[in-house]
Amino acid sequence: MPVSVRDVAFEPYSEVVAYQQQRFASAGAFGASAVFVGTMRDFNEGDAVRGMTLEHYPGMTERHLEAICQDAAARWPLLDSLIVHRVGEVEPGDAIVLVAVWSAHRAEAFEACRHLMEDLKSRAPFWKKERLVDGTRWVARNTAGYTAGQSEPTKG
CA nearest neighbour of 2 among 17, 21, 19: 19
Q: Is 38 exposed, middle or buried (0-12, 13-18, 19+ CB in 10 A)?
A: middle
Q: Which residue, 38 or 88, has its beta carbon nearer to another protein?
A: 38
Contact pattern from residue 45 through residue 84 relative to another protein, giving x for each residue in contact according to CB under 8 A and a dash for the rest: -------x-xxxx-xx--x---------------------
Query: Under the criterion CB under 8 A, does residue 150 sit at the interface with another protein?
Result: no
SS (H, E, C) the chain: CCEEEECCCCCHHHHHHHHHHHHCCCCCCCCEEEEEEEECCCEECCEEEEEEEEEECCCHHHHHHHHHHHHHHHHCCEEEEEEEEECEEECCCCEEEEEEEEECCHHHHHHHHHHHHHHHHHHCCEEEEEEECCEEEECCCCCCCCCCCCCCCCCC
Q: Which residue, 79 or 82, has its beta carbon nearer to another protein?
A: 82
| Span near another protein by CB under 8 A; candidates 8-16, 19-27, 71-79, 114-122 | 114-122
Query: Under the criterion CB under 8 A, does residue 113 sit at the interface with another protein?
Result: no
| Span near another protein by CB under 8 A; candidates 6-14, 16-24, 26-34, 113-121 | 113-121
Query: Under the criterion CB under 8 A, does residue 123 sit at the interface with another protein?
Result: yes
Shortest distance, CB of residue 6 to another protein, whole angstroms?
A: 13
User: Which of 88, 121, 132, 153 is in the footprint of another protein by CB under 8 A?
Assistant: 121
List residues binding another protein (CB under 8 A).
36-41, 44, 52, 54-57, 59-60, 63, 85, 96-97, 117, 120-129, 138-145, 149, 154
